[in-house]
Amino acid sequence: MTRTMTILTDVKLITCIVQRGMSDIIVKAAREAGAQGATVTYAKGSGVRERLGLLGVAVEVDKEIITIVVSSQQMDAVFEHIYLAGQLDVPGMGFLYVTPLEKAATFIPNDVLDKIKP
């Protein structure tokens, strides 16, 4: 039996670190922007102030790390959706970054494969 494997090469990894409880909002925003999956890990943060001065906003030590693999084409849209949904322009809410990937392998439905084949 011959098996074929689809290797995606034009992919990026988006990592977002936010306060605990925010991951649902981030995953939902990523999905609305076209992302097909996400992974959420619980973590402890450090090096942040417990309170942000005049604002009086507590910065939780408990964090959630969301990782999402996206195509390079989708990257900007997913990045922007996450940034806005997570209110990452507000001090202490979190941050995100993108790591280039060499390749990725996963299951892709045939109808999607047909669309992306050159």
Partner 1 sequence: MPQTETTPSHHPPGKWITCIIPAEHGLDIDLMTTLKNGKGVITTSSSRCRGYSGWTVTNPPANAMPPANPVSVVTVVVAEDRAEEIFLFLTQRITHALQEGNAILFQGVLSHLSQYELPVGIPGEGHINTL
User: Which positions touch partner 1 (CB under 8 A)?
Assistant: 3, 5, 11, 13, 23-24, 27-28, 31-32, 35-41, 69, 99-109
Q: How far apart are CA 105 and CA 100, in angstroms?
A: 15
Tell me the closest approach of the beta carbon of residue 5 to partner 1, in angstroms.
6
Tell me the closest approach of the beta carbon of residue 51 to partner 1, in angstroms.
29
Tell me the closest approach of the beta carbon of residue 9 to partner 1, in angstroms.
10
Nearest residue (CB) to partner 1, 31 versus 59: 31
- The end-to-end CA distance of the chain, in Å, is 25
Tell me the closest approach of the beta carbon of residue 40 to partner 1, in angstroms.
4
Nearest residue (CB) to partner 1, 58 versus 112: 112
Q: How far apart are CA 69 and CA 39, in angstroms?
A: 9
Residue corresponding to tokens 């890990």: 41
Q: How far apart are CA 35 and CA 57, in angstroms?
A: 31
Nearest residue (CB) to partner 1, 24 versus 76: 24
Q: Is 6 helix (H, G, I), strand (E, B) or coil?
A: coil
Q: Which helix (H) or strand (E) holds 78?
A: helix 72-85
Nearest residue (CB) to partner 1, 11 versus 88: 11
